[in-house]
Structure 1
Amino acid sequence: HKIKSAESSYIGLSERMESYKKNINITKNEIDNYASYIGLNNLYKSLNDDMFSEYQIQTELNDRLEIIEEKLKKVAEDKANLNKKYYEMIDKLVLKFGLNELEESQYKSVIRVFCSSGSNKPISTVIWYFTLNNLKKYYDRDSLSLPMVLDSPKNAEMDYDKEQALIEYILEEAPNYSQLIFSSIGFNPKDFRYDGNIKIIELNNSKYQLLDEKTYCENEELLELVINLQLI
């Protein structure tokens, strides 16, 4: 009787153990499934956050890109207008001075440096510098006014008419500079009409002498000071 009772008790305990094991396995599976769900949910949320962040960055970059593209478009338009104005200015002077050797392609753009040959070389140099200054004034009237110094701009081979036309052009452009100084051999003021503010200084010093004796003596101290300061 005791054996049967023990056996019955053992069987009951075994069944209860099996029941516990099943319940534990079910619970474990539920926990595993829940953990997987939480993990996948967190991953999904993280991916969504990253995608939204990337979308915001991309949208911001696209907006900035549009602004930059608009600015580049405006710069391109301004550049085209500037080159067009530059071409018009130069072309009028090319026709005025008869610089037939210059091709239009040589002065289509402000970044291209052109130069005539022979007796026309100083003319092309002067009109190039003067045009750049006029172009600066055209686009910015309040820009810094600069001085200009031309050391005998005419060429020995230049004919009389072109020489006179060049000097007349220089005198006409003088008011566009804070100060314009140019030297010319054989200049006759009576041959030109010019602004009354233009001051003409005639040098009658001896050949190969920069200053006459009287002027040198009057400015000797100043000259020595300048030389000592290594300004010349």
Structure 2
Amino acid sequence: MSHEGNDILDADQLHTYYGKSHILHGVSLRVGAGEIVTLLGRNGAGKTTTLRSLMGLTPPRQGRIRLFGQDVTGWPPHRIAKLGVGYVPEGRKIFGHLTVHDNLRVPAATTGRWTLDTVYDLFPRLAERRTSKGGQLSGGEQEMLAIARALLLNPRFLILDEPSQGLAPVIVDEVMKTVVAMRDEGIAVLLVEQNAWLALRDADRAYVLGDGEVVHEGSAAELAADEERVKALAGASLDTSASAAAS
């Protein structure tokens, strides 16, 4: 069944390599308008490689990528971003020597709902810390800054890699509320998340990767209801105490 027309992302049979290592073996996934889709899997399953393939950072050698109905296979990352794709990579990649305010002025201004003022409204903590250097922020504040910076491009599609990594549960909750708010604003979201419980709670649909292949796809709620299956597929527990213990 084709969903084209309503699809923000339609990736078909991606094969991606690092040098001679064949990492992705025919990965296909789609994200519809106004949808949160999560990509789960054990460490080394190919989740980050999938995101890097979609962004043109590690272009697939085979397969096709369509964004907003347009074939973008082989496009460079800046051209993909310009279409309206915001990418928050693992590790956040903010500028530690710049203030919060200057970090937010790095993206070229675009017209739309997201401006410095609306981003500060969304993240009051960043407004309070606007003169602090990026390197002085807590992990949660850095994650907010990375998301805020992506929002200033007024994306129609937001790709997030491990937004909860290393954050305390209360901050993780705040970050995920923001992700849900993005969807409610009509932004489609593709979320890679180690914390399966967290991702499945807020997502509409889920894909699970295993050794560079999609081994499961379906409703996030249905997968969340089957804890044994999540453990088997994603190597993760749905128990939130696991994330609490890690923080």
When the two structures are superposed, what TM-score results if normalisation uses the length of structure 2? 0.32
When the two structures are superposed, what TM-score results if normalisation uses the length of structure 1? 0.34
- Between the two structures, name the one with larger relative contact order (CA 8 Å, sep ≥ 6): 2
Report which of the two has the higher share of strand.
Answer: 2
